[in-house]
């Protein structure tokens, strides 16, 4: 290890994509701040990697803990080269079934937690005119389905925020990559999933059916977290990292179909759309 060994900071490493990313980075000889709400869940990840791994307690909804974790990582490693905002979870409910406290908690983690870590890491990156921020969004940040409206709302928020951020920090030497996975074999659709206790019979055939279908994917998702981790690292380390990285065949198929649908709808209504301007002088 020397000072040029890249330093990554990852949120939500106890399971899933965050764990796969931390594992792969450390195996590749990188340095990593491996964070989790309960740091005991990442102790095994850090073990055996000596000073290259730093296990830290981090609940992204706790601003004081975010500040402390970023400071610790910067003090230990001298800098953060790549921040990965990975922590997040899903919530199954038709929009009308949504419970206020659950919805706000979802936004607190998936959106405001990501904002908090980003704002904590940016001063160091700006000072060095270098760095990269990876925001784990979702295919669900580009296309929406029944039963996951609130989850989509958080991921669409991540998409818009990240696109603005990319435009703002590019001149400062900082890159942004939005990662959009389809279904990957993690705890997302199993133990991590939350659901509304409220169930309205009128949505049984729509949101209800999709609730069941989403839960049924657990353990059978086609996406491999370790391949996803390698893809993210390779993309970030490529000469021109992408603004968006879809992961999984379904992500490619659904996102490109979504583009076609959007274009067809815009074209069908083009005359009405264009006609809303003042007449040309």
To ligand NAP, the closest distance from the beta carbon of 242 in angstroms equals 17
Stretch that binds ligand NAP, among 23-31, 187-195, 200-208, 229-237 (CB under 6 A): 187-195
DSSP state string for 150-166: HHHHHHHHHHHHHHHHH
Q: How far apart are CA 234 and CA 231, in angstroms?
A: 5
To ligand NAP, the closest distance from the beta carbon of 279 in angstroms equals 46
User: For residue 234, how many other CB atoms are within 10 A of its CB?
Assistant: 11
Stretch that binds ligand NAP, among 75-83, 124-132, 183-191, 255-263 (CB under 6 A): 183-191
Residue 117 near ligand NAP by CB under 6 A: no
Identified binder of ligand NAP from the candidate list 23, 162, 186, 196, rule CB under 6 A: 186
Stretch that binds ligand NAP, among 24-32, 43-51, 185-193, 253-261 (CB under 6 A): 185-193
Measured CA distances, 270 to 125, 191, 258, 260, 277 (Å): 43, 45, 18, 15, 12
Q: Which residue is nearest to ligand NAP (CB)?
A: 16
The CA radius of gyration of the chain, in Å to the nearest whole number, is 20
Q: How far apart are CA 202 and CA 44, in angstroms?
A: 47
Identified binder of ligand NAP from the candidate list 192, 224, 241, 250, rule CB under 6 A: 192
The DSSP letter of residue 184 is B
To ligand NAP, the closest distance from the beta carbon of 276 in angstroms equals 36
Instruction: Give the tokens for residue 272.
Output: 């009405």
To ligand NAP, the closest distance from the beta carbon of 135 in angstroms equals 9
**Residues within window 3-22 making contact with ligand NAP, judged by CB under 6 A:** 11-18
Residue 34 β-bridge partners: 10, 55
Q: Nearer to ligand NAP by C-beta: 4 or 10?
A: 10
Report the 3 state secondary structure along 211-267.
HHHHHHCCCCCCECHHHHHHHHHHHHCCCCCCCEEEECHHHHHHHHHHHHHHHHHHH
Q: What is the sign, positive or negative, of the torsion defined by CA atoms of 17, 20, 22, 25?
A: negative
**Residues within window 234-273 making contact with ligand NAP, judged by CB under 6 A:** none
Identified binder of ligand NAP from the candidate list 86, 148, 196, 214, rule CB under 6 A: 86
Which residues participate in catalysis according to the annotation? Answer: 137, 151, 155
Residue 124 near ligand NAP by CB under 6 A: no
Stretch that binds ligand NAP, among 26-34, 43-51, 54-62, 165-173 (CB under 6 A): 54-62
Residue keyed to tokens 């759309």: 273
The DSSP letter of residue 109 is I
Residue 149 near ligand NAP by CB under 6 A: no
For residue 142, the surrounding DSSP H or E stretch is none
Q: What are phi and psi of 132, to 5 degrees?
A: -145, 140
Question: How many residues touch ligand NAP (CB under 6 A)?
Answer: 31
**Residues within window 87-116 making contact with ligand NAP, judged by CB under 6 A:** 87-89, 109, 113
Residue 37 near ligand NAP by CB under 6 A: yes
From 68, 81, 74, 82, select the one nearest 39 (Cα to Cα). Answer: 68
Kindly list the residues in this chain that would bind ligand NAP in the complex (CB under 6 A).
Answer: 11-18, 36-38, 58-61, 86-89, 109, 113, 136, 138, 181, 183-184, 186-188, 192, 221
């Amino acid at each position: 290890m020397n000072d040029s060994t890249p330093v990554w900071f990852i949120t939500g490493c106890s399971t899933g994509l965050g764990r796969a990313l931390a594992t792969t980075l450390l195996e590749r000889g990188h340095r990593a701040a491996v964070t989790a709400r309960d740091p005991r869940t990442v102790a095994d990840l850090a073990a055996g990697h000596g000073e290259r791994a730093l296990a830290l307690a981090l609940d992204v909804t706790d601003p004081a803990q975010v500040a402390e974790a970023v400071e610790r990582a910067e003090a230990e490693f001298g800098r953060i080269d790549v921040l990965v905002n990975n922590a997040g979870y899903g919530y199954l409910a038709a929009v009308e079934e949504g419970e206020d406290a659950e919805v706000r908690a979802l936004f607190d983690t998936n959106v405001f937690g990501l904002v908090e870590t980003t704002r904590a890491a940016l001063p160091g990156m700006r000072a060095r005119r270098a760095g990269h921020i990876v925001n784990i969004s979702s295919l669900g940040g580009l296309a929406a389905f029944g039963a996951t409206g609130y989850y989509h709302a958080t991921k669409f928020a991540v998409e818009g925020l990240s696109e603005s951020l990319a435009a703002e920090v590019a001149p400062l030497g900082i890159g942004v990559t939005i990662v959009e996975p389809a279904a990957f074999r993690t705890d997302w659709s199993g133990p991590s999933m939350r659901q509304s206790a409220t169930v309205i019979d009128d949505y049984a055939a729509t949101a209800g059916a999709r609730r069941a279908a989403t839960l049924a994917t657990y353990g059978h998702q086609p996406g491999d977290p370790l391949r996803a981790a390698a893809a993210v690292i390779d993309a970030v380390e490529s000469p021109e990292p992408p603004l968006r990285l879809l992961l999984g065949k379904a992500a490619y198929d659904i996102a490109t179909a979504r583009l076609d649908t959007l274009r067809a709808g815009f074209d069908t209504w083009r005359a009405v759309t264009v006609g809303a301007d003042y007449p040309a002088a």
